[in-house]
């Protein structure tokens, strides 16, 4: 049954492949807005550093040392402002991500903008709260131990790290199932066809995680073998291409997921 359902889901996704590019569009808009905001923020703080001018000693090395000393002084004075400004920009970027995601993906299944926005916010809040709680429980000693001594704590916390990763993965899977059926207006499937819903979503997520993990390992191995600036530029290009590929794959498999859940919902309605 699952193979037939996935086959029909892929068939429907092929007919609506344009939504993949629409999904890429809002991500590109979000990247452009975030990058522009960070560049403007850097330019604003950069303009403030231009007012710092040290005496010209006539010695290039001394001038460089004086400039670094003045920059350290500027950083010590304005460090809180820099962190606050960056945090504000990143928080605004997160809000923009939620809004754009809901606005564009609601067109995927003719869903409600408020449903998509609220489901994403609640899913993120639940997952982040759980992650913070597990971090506070399992890795509390890291917060009161100097960074240089963290390596000594790792042997005692490896088991906790494995448990946290497995638990968060299971929680993320559960939240993804709930989010998918809520957005598809198919909550009744949790009572009538839970195992097939979990099976379809699990297969698609596992396939996506396998491909994404393989790409990450390949890119990581490439960065570890960099021997010059040309290799660095090449690996940056490969990493960018990998990110685009993973984004396209995610959008396509998301379309397949909603198509498959839509088929199951239609079958329940017909019955």
Neighbouring CB atoms inside 10 A of 21's CB total 10
The model's pLDDT over 45-54, given as tens digits with 9 standing for 90+, comes to: 877 766 665 5
The model's pLDDT over 199-247, given as tens digits with 9 standing for 90+, comes to: 999 999 999 999 999 999 999 998 888 888 888 899 999 999 999 999 9
Taking a C-beta distance cutoff of 8 angstroms, is the pair 261, 197 a contact? yes
d(CA 232, CA 225): 9
Taking a C-beta distance cutoff of 8 angstroms, is the pair 16, 256 a contact? no
User: Which of 32-36, 57-61, 175-179 is the least confident region?
Assistant: 57-61
Q: What is the pLDDT of residue 56?
A: 59
Q: What percent of the chain has pLDDT over 70?
A: 92
The model's pLDDT over 90-115, given as tens digits with 9 standing for 90+, comes to: 999 999 999 999 999 988 777 789 99
DSSP for the chain, written as a single string? -HHHHHHHHHHHHHHTTHHHHHHHHHHHHHHHHHHHHHHHHHHHHHHHHTT------S-HHHHHHHHHHHHHHHHHHHHHHHHHHHHHHHHHHHHHHHHHHHHHHTTTTT--HHHHHHHHHHHHHHHHHHHHHHHHHHSHHHHTS-GGGHHHHHHHHHHHHHHHHHHHHHHHHHHHHHHHHHHTT-TTHHHHSHHHHHHHHHHHHHHHHHHHHHHHHHHHHHHHT--SHHHHHHHHHHHHHHHHHHHHHHHHHHHHHHHHHHHHHHHHHH-
Q: Taking the model in full, what pTM does it have?
A: 0.85
The model's pLDDT over 41-80, given as tens digits with 9 standing for 90+, comes to: 888 887 776 666 555 566 667 667 767 777 777 777 778 8
- As a whole number, mean pLDDT of residues 149-155 equals 83
Q: Where are the domains of the chain?
A: 2-109+184-270, 112-183
C-alpha triplet 245, 243, 218: angle, nearest 5°: 90
d(CA 182, CA 145): 43
């Amino acid at each position: 049954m699952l193979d037939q359902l996935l086959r029909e889901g892929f068939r429907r996704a092929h007919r609506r492949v344009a939504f993949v590019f629409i999904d890429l569009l809002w991500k590109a808009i979000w990247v452009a807005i975030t990058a522009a905001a960070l560049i403007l923020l850097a330019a604003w703080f950069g303009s403030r550093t231009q007012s710092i001018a040290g005496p010209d000693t006539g010695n290039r090395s001394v001038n460089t040392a004086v400039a670094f000393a003045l920059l350290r002084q500027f950083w010590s004075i304005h460090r809180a402002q820099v962190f606050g400004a960056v945090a504000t920009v990143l928080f605004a970027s997160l809000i923009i991500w939620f809004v754009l995601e809901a606005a564009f993906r609601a067109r995927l299944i003719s869903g409600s903008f408020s449903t998509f926005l609220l489901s994403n916010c609640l899913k993120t809040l639940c997952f982040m709260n759980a992650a913070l709680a597990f971090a506070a429980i399992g890795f509390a000693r890291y917060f009161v131990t100097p960074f240089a001594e963290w390596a000594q704590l790792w042997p005692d916390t490896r088991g906790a790290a494995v448990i946290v990763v497995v638990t968060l993965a299971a929680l993320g899977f559960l939240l993804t199932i709930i989010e998918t059926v809520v957005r598809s207006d198919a909550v009744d499937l949790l009572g009538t066809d839970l195992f097939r819903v979990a099976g379809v979503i699990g297969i698609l997520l596992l396939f996506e995680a396998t491909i994404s993990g393989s790409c990450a390992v390949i890119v990581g191995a490439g960065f570890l073998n960099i021997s010059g600036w040309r290799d660095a530029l090449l690996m940056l290009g490969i990493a960018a291409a990998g990110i685009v590929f993973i984004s396209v794959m995610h959008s396509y498999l998301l379309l397949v997921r909603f198509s498959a859940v839509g088929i199951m919902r239609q079958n329940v309605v017909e019955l």
